[in-house]
Every structure is written in C-alpha cells, then in structure tokens.
Amino acid sequence: MSTSAPSNGPGTTTAAAAPDCFGDAERVCPKDGDGFFQPRAECVGCDWVRRCLQAALEKAGLMRVAPESAAAECGMMRFLKRWSAKKRSAESGVAD
C-alpha cells in the first residue's frame, strides 16, 4: 500500500501511479462493527491515503468535494460586478 507517487511539482502527483486499490471503499476503508469507516493500517502510510479516502467516500456518496475554482469564481464575479458598476457610472457621468 505504500506506493510512492511521483511528483509533478509541489503537492501534485500523477493519477497513473495510483495503486489498484485507489478509491475502493471496501478495500481501503471497510466499516467497523459500529458502522464507521476505518482506514486499514496498511493504507495509513501510503502516499495516496488522503486522495484515496476522499475518492472512496465520494464514490459511496458520503462526501462531496467542492470544486477548487468555486472561490475563484466568486471573487471574479464580485470583481466583474464592481467593474461593471464603475463603468456604468463613468459612462453616465460623461454623457451629462
């Protein structure tokens, strides 16, 4: 399970290097006696553990990963609204 993921830069890895158990909830985080998902001990040391568990829980419908661009889109929309309002007010001031 400790398959090393090749790096493409800080914090990035290639999907081709993921182990074959990647994202398989039954293999990487089976439910314990109380019904809670528990990562296997072999998986804890794996370089892929975080992304793997996220993918497994997402596939099981228990976790929704928000798009990373959502915050950027929100900021861009605010910028465009401010820019548009300034442009409209500038145009109406010039026309007077």
* Model pLDDT for residues 36-63, shown as the tens digit of each residue: 888 888 888 889 988 998 898 888 887 7
What does 14-52 look like in DSSP terms, one character per residue? -GGGS-TTTT-HHHHS-B-TTS-B---HHHHT-TTHHHH
* DSSP 8-state secondary structure symbol assigned to residue 7: B
Q: Burial level of 5, CB count in 10 A (0-12/13-18/19+)?
A: middle
Global pTM exceeds 0.85: no
pLDDT of the residue at 67? 65
Domain boundaries along the sequence of the chain: 1-65, 66-96
Please list the ranges in the chain whose pLDDT falls under 50.
1-12, 96
